[in-house]
Structure 1
């Protein structure tokens, strides 16, 4: 005798089959929606694509700005691409190499648009003028400088004493803190400056600019109004030693970088007396020198190696 399922059993099996079919339809619908959303996201991340006259679409160009935002700035990529020790000790670490280049390479400082402050006094003054530093490197989070309310930084990194001493380029560095701040940019023009110090490089070695940095600091203290840096040689006043010697006056004193001919034109246009520090010149206290000074609105004083425009300067 053949077995015939009851009406109740048939209904139960039918409900199970209907439930399985409904779940399969829902999964297929969700899958199609997710695929449609992914396609629209990929299209929105691309830039506008315009067809050429022959109807052929060019290659898709992705949005560079969106990719740049996702990858972050240079320092973030530098940190993420290397180990993250609690205390930075190795001189071969990418962050340590970055610091060493900032301290010893003028070209790297200009390229990254960053400089280092190795004096607690200069760090305090910078934070009072501009706010937070880009980064602070210290030997301890409990450094008294970091506890001051005026000293702020976007990021704090702990380093060893030996590494900071090497970066600061000082034999007896005991500050325990180094700040990384934006590069002081030159001014577009000097306006109506009456007292301008014109700095010429003495030689090709940037380490011999300590005396020049001290003179710039003295001129700033005597309220000279601007600084003109000549281009005809290699000189840099933004390494850690020269920043300490000049007390970071390039951050507050307007300066421009130009040729000797441009400096002479600026002096003539603004009725400035062009003077050169040299042996055998006039005594400034003499009557002749005072009469010459009174005939001009101000002075442009050249210090350092005189460029080869002597016939123009006379």
Structure 2
């Protein structure tokens, strides 16, 4: 018996929000993921002799007019050092376009996933559960969203729900797409058995081994999202990405010369393709360590 499909929870956490009112459907029949041109890797799990690391990419593109735009991949729960490094880097941009469905930061009294919507309360609960279990920090608590150069670049709650209604998109339909896409993935490692997972959970400090398990699943994230989006743009990825790039165009027209788009790493393969279609050219890739997992001494 296989362990629960960890990667499906990661999709929910890294690309949220979703509806949660419907139960998960039975696993659908596998379908092949449409072949696509190989894109940039935005998330990687690197295993080493002394430590393993989960890293996210900061990828620079240059517009036809010569404006640099960095796609900054986010992992929403990570080591504090990761968020500190991003905060320092964000000070170097004219504008940092950030994801957060709902109102801009300056219009909120509290910072909650889904802007406190009752439909999306489950999201904060899942993120908090994973944060506590993996002993990590929260992006919402560690990133300086009130920085003067931060620009809201996500959909309003009303816009997001309207887009889902127009597409007849629910948690059920997205779950089916995710399961179909996962069934079509070619994996380079086996998912852990239920016994292996139980043995990890029985350890005195299981968080490091759980992070290794989850981190390895992250390596499949971009292919999974490609599979989900291959049957049509979703509200959770494609439509929000369109909105973010429209804000980017507005900021460039306003004279901003160096921009970053700070979105969940799972969004970025689709966003990269949209930039390339607009004539942007990839310039370089930097990596930032989100999870640092040293091996214990024998």
Structure with the higher fraction of residues in strand conformation: 2
TM-score by length of 1: 0.20
Bigger relative contact order (CA 8 A; separation at least 6):
2
TM-score by length of 2: 0.20
